[in-house]
Structure 1
Amino acid sequence: MPVAAPQTEYGDRELALTGEILRTVVGSGVHGIAIEGTDDHDEMGVFIEPPAYLMGLGKPSDHYVFRTQPEGARSGPGDTDLVIYSLRKYLRLATKGNPTALLPLYAPADTVLIVTPLGEELRRLVPAMLSQQAVRRFLGYLDSQLNRLVGRGPRRGTPNRPELVARFGYDVKYASHALRLAYQGREVARDGRLTLPMPEPERQRVLQVKRGEVRELGAVLDEIADVQSQVENLLAAGRTPLPAQPDLATVQEWCVEAHRRHWGWT
């Protein structure tokens, strides 16, 4: 009898799936930069907890995770990574500008896997959630990718993908993620929105880096630094349509009402 491959799963699966109001593709697939045969498949969802978990003795359950790879193993081609956040945790992430958490709000229709009326309302709430904090988060995530790329910070040392370094001279995935975050941070700061999949020609440029077609790491680093500087100048000069902070009062009011309606309370 074949032995099932080890997987990673934690959180309350039934609770998350029965209360789900939104799920979309995230990751490279929604950015439009997936390369067939090299990328995994990422999904993110949002669920509403039952009242007993928030007001009774039940312990709050703020997320559920499922991965086809075992704990600690890298995902690869054909693997699926799924995370479903409770609405309260999701809204905390989104209002702080977490770049990945923002993706379900902008995911195009063909990448929306599950959506209820409350899920549609959540997606329409994005103007209250997006602020200059999000731009700062994009820059912060960009710096994290750069640190891994050039071996700075607490994760310095052996790269996660030495096979890419051996083949191309540097980790093209870290480089492409950093460049993507720079471009997207610029769009959010300049236009107050995020286009998915990425608009051209930025999408093609990121793909060139990811495919290893840009052989000089220095050229990529210079381009990232240039775009990053543009983003910082937009913020410093106040040339952004975004408010300094999210509209937390509006978000909280909707969050409370969404729970009441999901539970059938009037």
Structure 2
Amino acid sequence: MSGVEPPDHVIGLKRFEQYIFRTQPEGVRSGPGDLDLTVYSLRKWLRGKAGRPELIEKYGFDTKFAMHMVRLGVQGVELLETGRITLPVPEPWLGWLRDLRQGKKTREEALEAAESLEHRLDELVRGASPLPEEPDAGWADAWLVRAYLRAWKMP
């Protein structure tokens, strides 16, 4: 799916704040191969009308917003490929994101990176991810109890 709102919103026939796409009806839990997607309006950002005025004035777009947009895609791909998120973001993406934030990348480069990451996320969500179909809820619950007991300093 595209990262820009649907055509009837773009041309102004409908007001747009966010767009939600689900392969399952509302209220039905998503399963393997299902897609839950929320698209927030990028039109204002593309026109340079949203975000931080000082960055828009200096670089022509909100570089901080763009950096976070790409970072979230990078981290989503890593999570679905490995089951983990590395902090801070490892190279080469760390340097790329810093360059974007500092205005050394263009808005077009940011959008191309985000689109590429979005396609990879779509592939992973539709079955290419090596992660199990269901989480290990028992393990997660036990870990949470142990964490609380440690925090409370109980045996």
Give TM-score scaled by structure 2 length.
0.62
Query: Counterpart of 1:197?
Result: 88
Q: Greater share of strand residues, 1 or 2? A: 1
Question: Identity percentage over the alignment?
Answer: 32
Residue 229 of structure 1 and its aligned partner are, at CA, apart by 0.2
What RMSD in Å do the two structures reach over aligned CA positions?
3.1
Q: Does 1:230 align with 2:142?
A: no
Task: Find the aligned partners of 1:189 and 1:178 in 2 and give their Cα distance.
Answer: 17
Q: Any gaps of 5 or more consecutive residues in structure 2?
A: 1-30
Task: Find the aligned partners of 1:256 and 1:202 in 2 and give their Cα distance.
Answer: 35
Residue 168 of structure 1 and its aligned partner are, at CA, apart by 0.6
CA contact (8 A) 1:173 1:210 kept: yes
CA contact (8 A) 2:51 2:65 kept: no
TM superposition outliers: structure 1 runs of 4+ over 6 Å = none
In structure 2, relative to structure 1, the CA distance for the partners of 1:166 and 1:241 (3 Å cut) is same
Q: Does 1:220 align with 2:113?
A: no
Q: Does 1:249 align with 2:138?
A: yes
CA contact (8 A) 1:192 1:240 kept: no
Residue 197 of structure 1 and its aligned partner are, at CA, apart by 1.9
Task: Find the aligned partners of 1:181 and 1:173 in 2 and give their Cα distance.
Answer: 12
Give TM-score scaled by structure 1 length.
0.39
Aligned residues: 120
Q: Does 1:151 align with 2:53?
A: no
Correspondence for 2:63 among 134, 148, 172? 172
In structure 2, relative to structure 1, the CA distance for the partners of 1:253 and 1:178 (3 Å cut) is same
Query: Counterpart of 2:14?
Result: none
Residue 209 of structure 1 and its aligned partner are, at CA, apart by 0.8
Task: Find the aligned partners of 1:163 and 1:224 in 2 and give their Cα distance.
Answer: 23
Instruction: Name the aligned partner's letter for residue 171 of structure 1.
Output: D
SS at match of 2:139: helix
Task: Find the aligned partners of 1:224 and 1:191 in 2 and give their Cα distance.
Answer: 19
Task: Find the aligned partners of 2:96 and 2:138 in 1 and give their Cα distance.
Answer: 39
Residue 245 of structure 1 and its aligned partner are, at CA, apart by 3.2
SS at match of 2:115: helix
1:82-127 deviation digits (Å, cap 9, x = unpaired): xxxxxxxxxxxxxxxxxxxxxxxxxxxxxxxxxxxxxxxxxxxxxx
Query: Counterpart of 1:119?
Result: none
CA contact (8 A) 1:175 1:209 kept: yes
Task: Give matches, 1:1-266, under 5 Å.
Answer: 143-144=39-40, 147=41, 150-151=43-44, 159-215=50-106, 217-236=107-126, 238-259=127-148, 262=152, 264=154
In structure 2, relative to structure 1, the CA distance for the partners of 1:194 and 1:158 (3 Å cut) is same
Residue 241 of structure 1 and its aligned partner are, at CA, apart by 2.2
